[in-house]
């Protein structure tokens, strides 16, 4: 009898996680954005969160944890309890450029996360203040060559996709421009608009609205070909042959999250990104939804890490 009770008790204990996870989620979910409020990733996360909430039947609360080019927020996501209640919006700095630029990254970029799904792989815009004397990329490059080191550009942080795109631009045009890093586009954008820095290459999500209101002037888009959502903005590659810099954003959970929870989150993610309302709102920002399998995303991370590693080496960007 004792053996039977013991066996039943053990069976009940081992059955608890499955029963608990079958009810997942039973409370609100936190979605970490590793940059300050107001940037491109933050904007997309706040559009995405309500759709994910609908799919899961629980609130999804966006929390901004900025710093160190996104690694502070990414570390918080990696260290979270792996129960599905804390997710991270990953950006290129999370698993692509962060490992290349930070020797003491507080998480293993290759094993810390479980991919849930992608949302976009978006080009950037090269923008200048509305009253800037630069009317074209040729104007900007000529001015930078005339006064090496006098010009400045803004980025949302060291290792961000904007930083990498800007350094690639410098290399390919052979200009010397000072980098002014911020803690997110929400902080850099006011200085770009006010002309306290000369230019920025940053996410279309953040910049397009200000281009349309006339507060910024777009000199080019960082895709190789014209973007169908902004056909009026010529590719930078029309002037700087071969220039291409896009930023993949995707959602992850901490490694060791139970697979049935991961499956539920992936199912909800797919439902969210298939929402016509979500797609319309992203299109209005100049973003085309991109859906990749985990294997396709892994391949992109590997390829992009090699590409940006070469840029970091050639630009002489120090490892921190």
The domain made up of 122-246 has a fold known as D-Maltodextrin-Binding Protein; domain 2 (3.40.190)
Output the pLDDT for position 104. Answer: 87
Q: Judging by DSSP bridges, how do beta strands 86-90 and 246-254 pair with one another?
A: antiparallel
Q: 156 — phi, psi (to 5°)?
A: -80, 10
pTM of the entire predicted model: 0.81
Question: What confidence tier does 184 reach under pLDDT thresholds 50, 70, 90?
Answer: confident
The CATH code belonging to domain 28-121+247-315 is 3.40.190.150
User: Domain map of the chain by residue range?
Assistant: 28-121+247-315, 122-246
Q: Using alpha carbons only, give the angle 126, 162, 246 rounded to the nearest 5 degrees.
A: 80
pLDDT tens readout for residues 112-142:
999 999 999 889 999 999 999 999 999 999 9
pLDDT tens readout for residues 143-175:
999 999 999 999 988 888 899 999 999 999 999
CATH topology match: 28-121+247-315 vs 122-246: yes
Question: What confidence tier does 319 reach under pLDDT thresholds 50, 70, 90?
Answer: confident
Output the pLDDT for position 6. Answer: 41
> Looking at residues 206-219, what average pLDDT do you find?
95
Output the pLDDT for position 294. Answer: 85
Q: Write the CB contacts of 23 (distance below 8 Å, at least 6 apart in sequence).
A: none
For the cut 80, the answer to whether the pLDDT of residue 19 exceeds it is: no
For the cut 70, the answer to whether the pLDDT of residue 99 exceeds it is: yes
Name the percent of the chain lying above pLDDT 90: 75
Output the pLDDT for position 22. Answer: 59
Output the pLDDT for position 288. Answer: 87
């Amino acid at each position: 009898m004792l053996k039977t009770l013991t066996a039943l008790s053990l069976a009940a204990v081992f059955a608890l996680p499955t029963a608990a996870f079958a009810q997942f989620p039973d409370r609100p979910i936190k979605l970490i954005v590793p940059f300050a409020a107001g940037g491109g990733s933050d904007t997309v996360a706040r559009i995405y969160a309500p759709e994910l909430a609908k799919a899961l039947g629980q609130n999804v609360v966006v929390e901004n944890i900025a710093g160190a080019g996104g690694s502070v927020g990414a570390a918080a996501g990696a260290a979270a309890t792996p129960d599905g209640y804390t997710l991270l919006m990953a950006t290129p700095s999370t698993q692509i450029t962060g490992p290349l630029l930070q020797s003491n990254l507080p998480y293993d970029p290759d094993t810390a996360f479980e991919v849930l799904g992608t949302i976009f792989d978006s080009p950037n815009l090269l923008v200048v203040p509305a009253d800037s004397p630069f009317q074209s990329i040729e104007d900007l490059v000529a001015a930078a060559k005339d006064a090496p080191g006098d010009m400045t550009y803004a980025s949302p942080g060291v290792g961000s996709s904007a930083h990498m795109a800007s350094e690639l631009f410098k290399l390919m045009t052979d200009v010397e421009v000072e980098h002014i890093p911020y803690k997110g586009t929400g902080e850099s954008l006011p200085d770009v608009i006010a002309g306290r820095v000369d230019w920025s290459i940053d996410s279309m999500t953040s910049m397009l609205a200000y281009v349309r209101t006339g507060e910024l002037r777009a000199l080019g888009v960082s895709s190789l070909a014209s973007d169908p959502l902004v056909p009026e903005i010529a590719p930078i590659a029309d002037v700087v042959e071969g220039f291409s810099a896009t930023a993949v954003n995707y959602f992850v959970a901490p490694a060791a999250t139970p697979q049935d929870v991961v499956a539920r989150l992936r199912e909800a993610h797919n439902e969210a990104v298939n929402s016509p309302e979500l797609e319309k709102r992203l299109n209005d920002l100049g973003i085309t939804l991109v859906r990749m399998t985990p294997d396709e995303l892994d391949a992109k991370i590997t390829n992009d890490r090699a590409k940006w590693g070469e840029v970091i080496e050639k630009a002489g960007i120090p490892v921190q």
